[in-house]
Amino acid sequence: MMAVRAVTSCSLFRPSSPPLFSSALRFFPYRSRGPPSLSLRYGAHTQTRSVQSLFNSLMEELRAARKRRQKRVSAAASNRMGLLNEELAEDRLVNHSLQKGLLLEFKKDSDRVLLAVAQRPDGKKNWMVSDQNGFTSSIKPQQVTYIVPGIDNFDQADIADFAQKAQDNMDPSLLEFAWVELLEKNKSVTVEELAEIIFGSTEALESYSAHLLLSKDEVYFTVLETKGFRSVYGPRPSGQVEELIHQKLAKEAVEKEFQEFIELLASVKSMSSQDKPPKHSWTKDERIWSRIESLEAYAIDACKNDEQRKTAGMVLKEMGLAKTASSAVKLLIDIGYFPVHINLDLLKLGIPTDHSDEIISAAQSLLLDSSDPDEIDRKNLTDLKVYAIDVDEADELDDALSATKLQDGRIKVWIHVADPTRYVQPGSIVDREAMRRGTSVFLPTATYSMFPENLAMGGMSLRQGELCNAVTVSVVLHNDGSIAEYSVFNSVIKPTYMLTYESASELLHLNLQEEGELRILSEAANLRSNWRRQQVKAFLRGKPPPFTAGKLEGIAAVVNENVRTVRKLCSSSLRYWILEYLRRQPKERTYRALVLRFLKDRIAALLLLEVGFQASAWIPVGMQIGDEVEVKVEEAHPRDDILFLKEVVKE
């Protein structure tokens, strides 16, 4: 036994190079990068060859040393198996009971095991223990995973040093050699027996080191029997070991690739905004894109399956973030995939923001087609003064007005509507896409059109000073505002003015003589609030309508549903930006608020008059509905739709 221990102290069982499968594990990650001489290829050719030769020679020496070492280990291990304590072999599963001063390993939680010293019983079954981190806690017997033998009164202060020494003994190749011997002799082992085989000792440190090797082993040994805190292990069949090694290699390759992804996220996260990669770059690698896609789905509570949810959770955990949707949003913002003010509702509602290449190409082809099926029937109305009036941020102008007074004093109004059927026919690919979207989306930060931009803002829009195809409805009004006569026809117009509602009102207020037509339009608006007529193109051509009544009802139902969705989106987007505006204001700024109603006790719904935003706040006794109160913003969180207001108490 002394000779065996002397051999052990000479590192016979701590080889300088790993066995073949261990070598594969260690060199596997670098194979895609080429041999070590790859980094020197920019130098002289002879330098590359000399490095390669040195590398080959070194590998030959390692292989030879491994063969010599394995032969010695095999012989020594055989001798040790013959020297196993007979009493230990007969009483392999005698259980150790918990006593004060024992050193034990216990499961703290699902991810951690700790070393601790038993202090005293806690109730009938539990024990108070002091762990390696200096904490004292009560544990259940089933939490104990190993009791270190040969120790009666261990000092808690020595746990860290003991644990480090055990870690220093962690050489997985030792298990490989023991497995070879035990498999050949068809023998099983306890932890202590394995310690005797590979370390030549069953003392505390060696036994615990053997326990660590077995508890972390996923390849060579399996538990045959367990009683209390002790187990008997058996060597796995060679075919099973070979398969497990293959699985381990594959698993480690996946884990390595995952860690590289985490490192990529951390690296990009630390970059300045202008240096972060563009959004489309994350889609180039399928594995990277799959994880980003999982994070995006997790951020908007739209995971397609458990795998996406699991992937996102793993990424967030590795990045040190909580497994919440808001954490995923923050991470995607930090790497530049999401803009800072990402509209999550836009994603949650599935509103399309881009058109496919196929649709864009089809739209471009329509623009290049100069034919006009209604060219012969179009009336030339380019002599009329045409006003297109819309909101300031409008990108698509699709209607305009003209007006004049007839000799008998009646008003004649022309309503010009951009003619979309000049380009899009019912049932075409562009029409079906527009039908799917239902409506264009106008948000504070962007516009998402039913049609591709080149079509919506080009051929389908009325453009100032240009000849534009339209469908015109002319209406003659009686002096009481009723319709005297009307006609509908195809036309060509030339828009004169593009006005906002504000600028049109200013022109009316100025009462300019040269803008008499605008005053006539205002007069007609007062006589007739609104008149609309719809599916007119088929009527003009003398053909039956393109849709039946039932089909039209179906289309209207889809469009109405989309419109409701878009209205909800517009409302939430407007709330977000109002909250963001309030968040950016100085803390000392105050706002006038109108009491709308009482919600509970003295909590009232208020209308912030400066921004037209409703919120709630506590107001003092004596305030009534309709009263004004001065408030200030305590907190504003746009992403969470939260606003805290506080009444300003006047001294």
Structure confidence at residue 375 as a pLDDT band (50, 70, 90): confident
Task: For residue 410, give both structure tokens.
Answer: 């009646």
CB of 538 closer than 8 Å to CB of 545: yes
Instruction: State residue 287's pLDDT score.
Output: 93
Instruction: State residue 481's pLDDT score.
Output: 80
pLDDT at 166 over 70: yes
Which has more pLDDT, 85 or 235?
Answer: 235
Q: Does domain 585-647 have CATH number 2.50.20.10?
A: no
Which has more pLDDT, 554 or 254?
Answer: 254
Q: What is the mean pLDDT of the chain?
A: 81
pLDDT at 281 over 90: yes
CA atoms within 13 A on the CB side of 359: 20
pLDDT at 38 over 50: no
Instruction: State residue 383's pLDDT score.
Output: 93
Render 496-542 in DSSP notation, one character per residue: -EEEEHHHHHHHHHHT-GGGHHHHHHHHHHHH-S------THHHHTT
Tell me: the pLDDT tens digits for 188-234? Answer: 999 999 999 999 999 999 999 999 999 999 999 999 998 878 899 99
pTM: 0.58
The helix (H) or strand (E) run that includes residue 129 is: strand 126-131
CB of 348 closer than 8 Å to CB of 342: no
Instruction: State residue 88's pLDDT score.
Output: 42
CB of 169 closer than 8 Å to CB of 199: yes
Task: For residue 240, give both structure tokens.
Answer: 């099973």
Which has more pLDDT, 528 or 124?
Answer: 124
Structure confidence at residue 545 as a pLDDT band (50, 70, 90): low
Instruction: State residue 415's pLDDT score.
Output: 93
Give the single-character DSSP code of 382. T
pLDDT at 347 over 50: yes
CB of 341 closer than 8 Å to CB of 576: yes
Q: How far apart are CA 53 and CA 103, in angstroms?
A: 51
Structure confidence at residue 564 as a pLDDT band (50, 70, 90): confident
Q: What is the 3-state secondary structure (H, E, C) of 603-631?
A: EEEEEECCCCEEEEEECCCCCCCCCEEEE
Tell me: the pLDDT tens digits for 418-438? Answer: 888 778 888 889 999 988 888
Give the single-character DSSP code of 278. P
Q: How far apart are CA 180 and CA 178, in angstroms?
A: 5
Instruction: State residue 47's pLDDT score.
Output: 40
Instruction: State residue 160's pLDDT score.
Output: 93
Q: For residue 307, report the phi and psi dihedrals to the nearest 5 degrees.
A: -65, -45
Q: How far apart are CA 241 and CA 243, in angstroms?
A: 5
CB of 209 closer than 8 Å to CB of 199: yes
Angle between the 238-269 and 325-334 helix axes, to the nearest 10 degrees?
70
pLDDT at 19 over 80: no
Provide the residue ranges of all domains of the chain, joining segments of one domain with +: 102-234, 241-340, 585-647
Q: Report how many helices (DSSP H) and strands (DSSP E) the chain contains, helices first.
A: 20, 22
CB of 196 closer than 8 Å to CB of 87: no
Longest CA–CA span in the chain (Å) reads: 129
Structure confidence at residue 29 as a pLDDT band (50, 70, 90): very low
Instruction: State residue 182's pLDDT score.
Output: 94
Instruction: State residue 534's pLDDT score.
Output: 38
Q: Report which of 450, 651, 411 is spatially closest to residue 566, judged by C-alpha positions.
A: 450
Q: For residue 124, report the phi and psi dihedrals to the nearest 5 degrees.
A: -75, -35
The average pLDDT across 543-550 equals 71
Residue 300: how many other CB atoms lie within 10 Å:
18
- Which amino acid, residue 174? L
Which has more pLDDT, 203 or 565?
Answer: 203
**Residue holding tokens 């007529």?**
533
Instruction: State residue 393's pLDDT score.
Output: 59
Q: Tell me the β-bridge partners of 476.
A: 412, 485
The average pLDDT across 1-10 equals 33
Point out the least confidently predicted range of 25-39, 149-163, 276-290. Answer: 25-39
Instruction: State residue 307's pLDDT score.
Output: 95
Tell me: the pLDDT tens digits for 351-367? Answer: 888 899 999 999 888 88
Q: Report which of 341, 312, 268 is spatially closest to residue 638, judged by C-alpha positions.
A: 341
Point out the least confidently predicted range of 141-155, 355-369, 399-413, 452-466. Answer: 452-466
Instruction: State residue 17's pLDDT score.
Output: 35
Q: How far apart are CA 234 and CA 440, in angstroms?
A: 69
Contacts of 118 (CB under 8 A, 6+ apart): 98, 99, 100, 101, 102, 104, 127, 128, 129
Chain centroid, CA 125 distance in Å: 46
Point out the least confidently predicted range of 240-249, 526-535, 619-628. Answer: 526-535
- Whole-number percent of the chain with pLDDT over 70: 81
Cα dist. 229→88, 218, 225 in Å?
A: 16, 20, 11
Task: For residue 270, give both structure tokens.
Answer: 């630390």
Q: How far apart are CA 541 and CA 375, in angstroms?
A: 12
Instruction: State residue 379's pLDDT score.
Output: 94
Structure confidence at residue 265 as a pLDDT band (50, 70, 90): very high
Which has more pLDDT, 223 or 96?
Answer: 223
pLDDT at 59 over 60: no
pLDDT at 76 over 70: no
Q: How far apart are CA 413 and CA 401, in angstroms?
A: 7
Structure confidence at residue 491 as a pLDDT band (50, 70, 90): very high
Q: How far apart are CA 154 and CA 157, in angstroms?
A: 9
Instruction: State residue 211's pLDDT score.
Output: 95
pLDDT at 98 over 90: no
**Residue holding tokens 């300031």?**
392
Q: How far apart are CA 403 and CA 412, in angstroms?
A: 6
Point out the least confidently predicted range of 77-86, 248-257, 387-396, 446-455. Answer: 77-86
Q: Is 123 left (phi over 0), alpha (psi -120 to 50) or beta?
A: left
